[in-house]
Amino acid sequence: MNITTPALLFPAISLLLLAYTNRFLVIAQLIRSLYKQNKEDPDRDLREQILHLRVRIEAIRRMQVLGVLSFILCVLAMFFLFLEWSAWGTGFFAASLVFLVASLGFSLYEVQISGQALNLQLKGLELPPRKL
């Protein structure tokens, strides 16, 4: 393996971290909005949505931590490959990929929770069945 292999992953991890940060900011804004709305007019569904958002925030935090660790390990892999220590470089690159996959796993988990939260919100819009 040469230094270009982990270098290919470098921009992908950076973009992934940017996407994770954007998710975090949107959810933080939504939590503030729902909190204010619930304070003015308490509602069980809003509280459940806020609890789902708390779990999503934790998942995003884990996604970010694993993504940053993947990024660091990728840099270390390039450094060791630059020094021509291929065994170390390959090991750090493999570890970087493992952390990246774990980060993506938490991303998938967060998307599932997001779907559950949307179903809670849509539950309030359901109309009772019409009688014929």
Look up the pTM and report it.
Answer: 0.79
- DSSP type of residue 3: T
* Predicted pLDDT of residue 14: 86
H/E segment holding residue 92? helix 86-123
SS3 of residue 122 by DSSP: helix
CA 37, CA 108: separation in Å to the nearest integer?
Answer: 29
Cα atoms in the Cβ-side hemisphere of radius 13 Å centred on 102:
16
Tokens read off for 108: 């998938």
Label residue 128 exposed, middle or buried (CB < 10 Å: 0-12, 13-18, 19+). Answer: exposed
* Predicted pLDDT of residue 124: 66
Domain ranges of the chain: 4-123
* Predicted pLDDT of residue 127: 58
* Predicted pLDDT of residue 71: 92
* Predicted pLDDT of residue 4: 79
pLDDT block averages, 10 residues each, the chain of length 132: 79 89 90 86 77 88 94 93 93 95 94 80 66 60
